[in-house]
Structure 1
Amino acid sequence: MTPLDQTATWAETHRQPEIWRAWAEPLAEKAAELSGWITSRGIEEVWLSGAGSSSFIGQIAAAEAQTGLRLIPASTTDIVSAPKPWIARKARILSIQFGRSGDSSESVGLLDILDAHRPDIDRLNITCNPNGALATRQGPGPGESRALVLPEATHDVGFAMTSSVTTMLLSALAVLGQIDASEALPKLADAAGPILAAPMLADRPRPDRAIFLGTGAMQFVARESALKVLELTAGKTMAIWDSSLGFRHGPKAAIEDGTQVYILLHPDPHSRAYDLDLAAELKQQFPDASVTTIGPGGDIAYGGTGQACVDAVLAVLPSQVLSARWSADLGLHVDDPFQGQGLSRVVAGVTLYPLP
């Protein structure tokens, strides 16, 4: 078995700070160009699409966006399986697709639907693979196509998406005018180092159940965090997610002795108050479970930028570290926990049904 610190997943998780620093200036230049293109196209509505972790990028980016554009999270899995309401929408639309490989079945399926039914829709594909369909395929027009290809280091070799998720999110935020990449990415890189090395992450035993909670954009970071644990432990640790307020309405029943609950603290004090109230409540009601807060003033603390959709790249780091450790503790192949049985790094072979 490969030692944890020699796995691709471990390396890809821990090199995120250096990736962000190196990408800051090139991204700032590319984002300025793409932002100008979006403005010139008169875009009114932006679809933020992907599958799995790539779809959560859109949910995080849209949750608290401050832009004149209508940002609509729209998973490729949803559009491809039920496309009629989408192709009927009337607006100047930009389809932004996220994809690590750019070759998953649903990524290609959405391109097929746009080609056949909405060739007027503009496309911006943000991907980590320069050779994938998202990077190389052009639409028939009149809609225009652009691709933003991330640094090679973000094209994760491991099963789980780590640096690919965070860097695609930051790239989208820069293009959409939510951050100045040259300023934000180095600051985030400085904050990420201490989180990745946090002593609390080094000795956490693997639980049978892990729960991730958050408010606003952070609830979708919780969703990505839960998926990391579920994937890398091959389902041996069942992980769920919810919003901090929504958790009380039934899902709290999932807590049992030994459950580990992680609450991702919102950077805004008003929203964070709800997170902290829930943390105090759960500690009192479930003394045999553990409750850990992550974020400003939390058990695993960081400063961040004060924007939840941006600080998302910091809030997700603990789950990346823990899930890799727990995978190794189970004796799994961290870079391929399923060993080709049932789940694979790139989803392929899905039957796509053409829409008449």
Structure 2
Amino acid sequence: MTSTLTLPETATWSEILSQPDIWEGWAETLADQSAEIRGWIARRGIDTVWLTGAGTSAFIGGVVGAGASKLRLEDRASTDIVSCPQDVLTAGGRILCVQFGRSGDSSESVGVMDLLDRHRPDIDRLHITCNPDGALATRPAPGPGETRVMLLPEATHDRGFAMTSSFTTMLLSALACLGDFDAARLPALAAEARTLVAQLADSPCPRPDRAVFLGSGALKSLARENALKVLELTAGRTGTQWDSPLGYRHGPKAAVADDTQVFVSLHPDPHTARYDRDVADEIRRQFPDITVQTVGPGGDIAFDGTGDARADAVLHVLVGQIRAAQWSAALGLPVDDPFQGRNLSRVVSGVQLYPWQR
């Protein structure tokens, strides 16, 4: 099928296509706000950063936390903090809790704020969110820890079920605040994304029974996000896996069957990319009748990228987003609400939050 001809007009498809323009338009504001936040972090004497979110928002932490930093970056899903606060809230040091949230109203976002308010009000907070009316944007903290809010452009508050522009823009914003990513690079990144979107949107890609996404380092969490996008938008009718390329060889590869597509993200570091390519070649040899595609510099789905795997993740994720939307439409599902109000909802709510007795 040719996606641009067969995909109906949906919020999800529009939001996928809008990402390059959003990043480019956000560049100047992000440069100013991230500089202020970096200065604030330095003044507060922060040494440890918790990267916190649920689901797709949690995978931002996995990508950002995989890179080298002067700060100690810890990937801590809000789902884990809420369920196992004893593993986290007893930590010492000068801590910044960064929460990511499209709506800012998920049960776990609220749960983390409740726990910090009661047990660790000394911890500083940075909320990166897309909803000006959500709890992350509006709820005050008791102190003495300080709070900063980075509110993303309105267009990132995705209306579709799946997080797309919200994920990529929160990720890039976090890199600008916590790493050495220069927001001035966003226009060039956006230009590459436009080319890649056009390539993917116009390429036929029949839906498989199973889709596998592999990536090394920061791209491992990105592979997880791609797998989730396909699982969500096809309402679970396409089985998915994610792993690192080397990790996949140690058992999980047993899931490969006749109708499987494998996507291997190529890390921008040449040393790491050798392993990525070796595993892709191995799977091709062992399963000659399935489709295996490499993604990234010199890959089957090619782009140059920035050389930083964490920033390049926003290019790699376009593969999962677009294929997921194409395959959802091919199944005849409503792409903006593939579960049609059953089982899963756009904002996770209704989780029973239990008070923690420290």
- TM-score, normalising length from structure 2? 0.97
Deviation at 1:167, TM superposition (A): 0.2
Aligned to 1:75: 77
* Deviation string, structure 1 residues 181-231 (Cα, Å, up to 9, x no partner): 02x211110110111111586310000100000111111110000000000
TM alignment of 1:121-200, pairs within 5 A: 121-182=123-184, 184-198=185-199
Aligned to 2:56: 53
Contact 2:63–2:218 (Cα < 8 Å) also in 1: yes
Aligned to 1:109: 111
Deviation at 1:115, TM superposition (A): 0.2
User: Structure 1 128/200 Cα, relative in aligned 2: closer, same or farther at 3 Å?
Assistant: closer
Structure 2 Cα separation of the partners of residues 188 and 5 of structure 1? 27
Contact 1:214–1:221 (Cα < 8 Å) also in 2: yes
Structure 2 Cα separation of the partners of residues 199 and 27 of structure 1? 28
* Deviation string, structure 1 residues 24-60 (Cα, Å, up to 9, x no partner): 0000000000110010000010000000000000000
Runs of at least 4 residues of structure 1 off by over 6 A?
none
Structure 2 Cα separation of the partners of residues 83 and 202 of structure 1? 46
Partner of 2:61, secondary structure, is helix
Aligned to 2:46: 43
Aligned pair count reads 352
Aligned to 1:63: 66
Matching residue's letter, 2:230: V
Partner of 2:88, secondary structure, is helix
Contact 1:201–1:321 (Cα < 8 Å) also in 2: no
Contact 1:5–1:11 (Cα < 8 Å) also in 2: no
Contact 1:200–1:300 (Cα < 8 Å) also in 2: no
Aligned to 1:244: 245
User: Structure 1 229/201 Cα, relative in aligned 2: closer, same or farther at 3 Å?
Assistant: farther
Structure 1 Cα separation of the partners of residues 149 and 8 of structure 2? 33
Matching residue's letter, 1:77: T
Structure 1: unaligned runs, 5 residues or longer: none
Structure 2 Cα separation of the partners of residues 354 and 201 of structure 1? 51
Matching residue's letter, 2:312: D
Aligned to 1:23: 26
Partner of 2:70, secondary structure, is coil
Structure 1 Cα separation of the partners of residues 70 and 328 of structure 2? 43
Structure 2 Cα separation of the partners of residues 256 and 164 of structure 1? 33
Structure 2 Cα separation of the partners of residues 255 and 299 of structure 1? 20
Contact 2:127–2:137 (Cα < 8 Å) also in 1: yes
* Deviation string, structure 1 residues 254-305 (Cα, Å, up to 9, x no partner): 1011200000110111000000001111111001111001100001100110
Structure 2 Cα separation of the partners of residues 129 and 278 of structure 1? 41
Structure 1 Cα separation of the partners of residues 147 and 89 of structure 2? 17
Aligned to 2:311: 310
Contact 2:8–2:329 (Cα < 8 Å) also in 1: no
Structure 1 Cα separation of the partners of residues 195 and 176 of structure 2? 24
Structure 2: unaligned runs, 5 residues or longer: 1-5
Partner of 2:214, secondary structure, is strand
Deviation at 1:21, TM superposition (A): 0.4
Structure 1 Cα separation of the partners of residues 48 and 178 of structure 2? 12
Structure 2 Cα separation of the partners of residues 265 and 156 of structure 1? 28
Structure 2 Cα separation of the partners of residues 110 and 218 of structure 1? 26
Partner of 1:272, secondary structure, is helix
TM alignment of 1:211-290, pairs within 5 A: 211-290=212-291
Partner of 1:210, secondary structure, is strand
Aligned to 2:207: 206
Structure 2 Cα separation of the partners of residues 142 and 5 of structure 1? 50
Q: Percent identity?
A: 62
Partner of 1:321, secondary structure, is helix
Matching residue's letter, 1:189: A
Aligned to 1:322: 323
User: Structure 1 193/72 Cα, relative in aligned 2: closer, same or farther at 3 Å?
Assistant: same
Structure 1 Cα separation of the partners of residues 15 and 200 of structure 2? 19
Q: Which moved more, 1:170-179 or 1:43-52?
A: 170-179
Structure 2 Cα separation of the partners of residues 187 and 249 of structure 1? 38
What is the root-mean-square deviation in Å for CA atoms of aligned residues? 1.0
Aligned to 1:295: 296
- TM-score, normalising length from structure 1? 0.98
Matching residue's letter, 2:70: G
Structure 1 Cα separation of the partners of residues 310 and 93 of structure 2? 25
Contact 1:125–1:146 (Cα < 8 Å) also in 2: yes
Deviation at 1:5, TM superposition (A): 4.3
Structure 2 Cα separation of the partners of residues 163 and 199 of structure 1? 17
